[in-house]
Structure 1
Amino acid sequence: MSLPERLAAPTPRLFGWIRNAGIVLAALAGAVAAIDKQGVYLPDLVLVLADKAYFVAGLVATLISQLTVDLKAYRAQNALK
């Protein structure tokens, strides 16, 4: 299965939830970075977590869970073609 096929294939329910949580983590990291650039004081711990940990964790969780394929649903989807 090629990469574009994996990205378009159905995702299992658990990994769909993980993907959505990863998107939220990455968005929160971006929001904290935007707030920091506006000059609002944020504690250093929040900045470090948002800058590195949340952004990377969100992107990795999103990518890995999106590449996971529900083979049963994928086969059922392609059986009709």
Structure 2
Amino acid sequence: ATGKPIVSVHEKGCAAEELLQDYPLWFEPESLDPADVAAAMADAGDAARKADPDTAARARAYARSFTREAALAPFEQWARELVARKAR
């Protein structure tokens, strides 16, 4: 949940794309060619230095959806409701 740029290096169609597609500081190389990967890393480096506060805030907000607390909250709610029903 740091709001830092991410460069993902993988074949097209990887499940990571689905998770990262809405992340405002995601940089995906055009291909796995070293020159394309280097260009994506350079773009991410520029973004790390130049990202405006709004973009960084949006990145942190998006990243918070992947914290342990956010991931477990629906299960915790379900478990509490289940226990409450059983207690009746």
Q: Tell me the TM-score normalised to structure 2 length.
A: 0.29
Larger relative contact order, structure 1 or 2 (CA cutoff 8 Å, min sep 6): 1
Higher strand share: 2
Q: Tell me the TM-score normalised to structure 1 length.
A: 0.31
Higher helix share: 1
